Structure 1
Amino acid sequence: MDTGGTTIDPELAEIAEAHDLHTLGVEEEYLLIDAVEPRAVEAVEDVFAQLPADLRPSVQHEYMRSQIEVASPPQLDLGALSDALRGLRAGVASAAERAGARLLAMGTAPVAGPHIRVVDNPRYHRMQERFGDLSPGAGMCGTHVHVSIPDDETGVQVLNHLRPWLPIFQAATVNSPLFKGRDTGYASWRYMMWERWPTVGPAPYLESYEHYLTLISDLEASGAMLDEGMLYWYARLAANYPTVELRMGDVMPSADDAVLLAALARALVATLVNEVRDGKPAPVVPDTLLVAAHWRAAHDGLEGVNIDMATREPRPAWRLMRQLFDYVRPELERHGDLERATVLLGRLRSEGTGAARQRAILARGTVADVVDHMAKATRGELGGQ
């Protein structure tokens, strides 16, 4: 569900505005896996029945009955965000275990299983009737990061400036190389499945907030989406909250991975807000090149190459990630995130993306071993996570 998180605390919002800081929040979608076999199960209602009352406001249904979603409260402090995500993951994982399932932060179910039905929700039934079997299997699980913006007009211009940076963000999130029990050859198979939906893709270059609203209206009239919640651009304005939402990535293996992504997203949005205020025009990047860069991100992750949008030449993806980090360093420091983000980036460099970790485990074991490891990472049981 595209709720955009919970309502921000008024005092937090006042502090953010007074110091020209940006709040952030994270939504994560997870798979529910059988406790014995590495296959998805229709366990979401059983898991909800086991959730403690204090977690329920931050947990929602997703499209399939083998999925569940959490939304962190908006935060200013990155440490508070980390604590919130860890608490949500651990709490939902415990509820899943009491329901006879396991919680798994992977972009796609790694093995084939029985047919999974959509959640019994009128909107989801309408989506299935309109769009058919575009989401086969157990569902696709992503990470969405929300960063506050001063107003919608600024937000639209930020979306324009974000376009060339999002492929390298996607490359950092790849966490779904396995499907139907084998390696697909892609670091993010979720991306290859997800892009079949008619409104998935890079946001177009936007002239104004009015232009943004007009496109939404036109897409709804075309039948390509039922409502604004189905605007599946890789970055968009949240419908119910004053945020820019980055939503192109797989769900990440651990809370630390998600926190790193959130820190970089906030620093980038803050950097771009400053560029908009200074009147700096957004880079002109052809849509076809952006699509190619996102495909390359899904194929290679950070372990291969991607496209340097400034030169339009292939570069090692890790070099582009370092370039992004250096570009947003001043805002990482201003928001108090630099030290934590530096440590987490180093850990990502040494451990590899989720896809690389899965492949390393599969090379010396089985799909069941991959699932076991990833379930522990999801829950926060592995060292440093």
Structure 2
Amino acid sequence: MTPAAAGTPVAPAEVTAPPTVGVEEEFVLAGRHSRAAVHRAPSVVRAALGRIGASHVTAEVSQAQVETVSAVCRTAAELEAEIVRLRRGAAAAAAEYDCLLVPSGTPVLGRPGPPPIADKPRYRAFARRFGPLMHDQGVNACHVHVGVDDREEAVRAVNHLRGWMPLLLAITGNSPYSDGTDTAYASWRTMVWSRWPSAGPPPYLRGVAHYERIVGQLIASGAAMDPAMIYWYVRPSPHLPTLEVRIADVLPEAATTAAYALLVRALVAGAVQAVRTGEPAPEVPDPLLRAACWQAARHGTSGILPATHTRDHTPTAVGPLVEELWKRVEPQLTGYGDDRRVGDWLSAVQSRGSGSSRQRRIAGHHGGSLQAVVDTLAVEPR
């Protein structure tokens, strides 16, 4: 149990005002009757524009996907209310076209495409360059943006965050099923997304100049079309003064998404503080970090991961790693008033597993019915 979840009093931390936080969530559209992925995003996005605002909803590469983009938030209550607003509004728009809005990293039933791809010049360029690699890339993530104004600090903070990516993936896996099949992975989305040549854990970065040189080389090599296509699990945003953590599957509930985003905010804030105080970051070998992310995607909370946030990388069960993560973020969480909310969620993950475990429990309780999984996950329209 984390101290917050156990009710242990914790002294307020010496921290400044919390950084801003925002969330992008991707969802699959499922037919109301078939519960399989359907390609109705152009219509659903148009319907959602008037409900939640043009800046808060967009199409993704697959026409079976919808993405919501939150406002910039400061407090936990503001963030959760915004996530609820966007989810319900997008679900109401989906209902207009006989769809369910489903927060699962991959479609439980049916294939998401592309093809067909969303009708945007960028995505058409993707198809020309990468060809069949795009097939079935209709997978759904949760991206968290945390405000970091100083670009040099943001780049160097990546080094303190990259070792935590396997654990964050293990506790947020929410895509065990794909096209009606149990993949035996906790996050099949991660395996599909890792096909991109620019996807995966970030390298150890020596500073802004080093970061820009690597990005330029990837673009020159053809592995990426522009900086926005550097699909590292944590990166400085190419267009915002934020650090963006991109490791998680879309999460099943708004409250879970909010708790995860607050955890990420605390972790980022601690990383920035480590940069400012000169704390060295462990130089985790890239192959080990990639292997640890695969292990997290495969086994989720039941696995053993190398402790890639440390220098010795000792293989450790996920439960003790969560406790180590808690110790790392507790000062920030306490100072921001987020310790109870995040602690309760982490305790639930330790006792019941992540979203992938929940999906499998739902199927088990309904005689293996994956339609029941879709129905249980689907967001209620407002």
Equivalent pair of 2:64/2:112 in contact (CA under 8 Å): no
* Equivalent runs, 1:287-366 vs 2, <5 Å: 287-309=286-308, 310=310, 311-365=312-366, 366=369
Shift of 1:326: 1.9
2:29 paired residue number: 32
SS of equivalent residue, structure 2 residue 281: coil
1:97 pairs, out of 95, 104, 108, with 95
Report the CA distance between 1:379 and its aligned residue.
3.5
TM-superposed CA distance for 1:48, in Å, is 2.3
1:46 to 43, 46, 51: 43
1:321 corresponds to which letter in structure 2? V
| 8 A Cα contact 1:31 1:103, kept in partner | yes
What is the CA RMSD across the aligned residues, in angstroms? Answer: 1.8
Q: Which range moves more in the overlay, 80-89 or 270-279? A: 270-279
Match of 1:120 in 2: 119
Q: How many residue pairs align between the two structures? A: 362
- List per-residue Cα deviations over 1:114-136 (Å, max 9, x = no partner): 85411000110000111112232
Shift of 1:302: 1.3
User: Structure 1 unaligned runs (5+)?
Assistant: 1-17
**Mapped partners of 1:223, 1:20: distance in 2:** 41
What CA distance in whole angstroms lies between the structure 2 residues aligned with 1:343 and 1:92? 27
Given that 1:228 and 1:239 are in contact with CA atoms closer than 8 Å, whether structure 2 keeps it comes out as yes
In structure 2, which of residues 77, 80, 99 is the aligned counterpart of residue 79 of structure 1? 77
Rounded to whole Å, the distance in 1 between the matches of 2:323 and 2:377 is: 26
Question: Is the CA contact 1:135–1:194 (under 8 Å) kept in the aligned structure 2?
Answer: no
Any conservation in 1 of the 2:137–2:192 contact (CA below 8 Å)?
A: no
Q: Which amino acid aligns with 2:168?
A: F
Name the residue aligned to 1:215: 214
Q: Whole-Å Cα distance in 1 between the matches of residues 74 and 239 of structure 2?
A: 19
Cα deviation for residue 352 of structure 1 reads 2.4
The 8 Å contact of residues 66 and 138 in structure 1, kept in 2 or not, is answered as no
Which string of whole-angstrom CA distances, capped at 9 and with x for unpartnered residues, describes residues 198-224 of structure 1? 001111111110111111111111111
* Alignment check: 8 A CA contact 1:143 1:250 kept: yes
User: Which of 52, 59, 62 pairs up with 1:61?
Assistant: 59
Corresponding residue number in structure 2 for 1:7: none
In 2, are the aligned partners of 1:40 and 1:138 still within 8 Å (CA)? no
3-state SS, counterpart of residue 30 of structure 1: strand
Contact 1:107 1:251 in 2 (8 A): yes
Counterpart in 1 of 2:205? 206
Note the C-alpha offset of 1:321: 1.3
TM-score (norm 2): 0.91
Q: Give the share of equivalent positions with the same residue, in percent.
A: 38
One-letter amino acid of the counterpart of residue 42, structure 2: E
Is the CA contact (8 Å cut-off) linking 1:264 and 1:325 kept in structure 2? Answer: no
Match of 2:374 in 1: 371
After TM superposition, the score normalised by the length of structure 1 is: 0.90
For the residues of structure 1 that align with 2:87 and 2:107, how far apart are their CA atoms?
18
Any gaps of 5 or more consecutive residues in structure 2?
1-14
Aligned partners of 1:109 and 1:137 also within 8 Å: no
Residue in 2 that maps onto 1:13: none
> Deviations for 1:133-172, whole angstroms, at most 9, x for unmatched residues?
2232360110100111130100111001111111101111
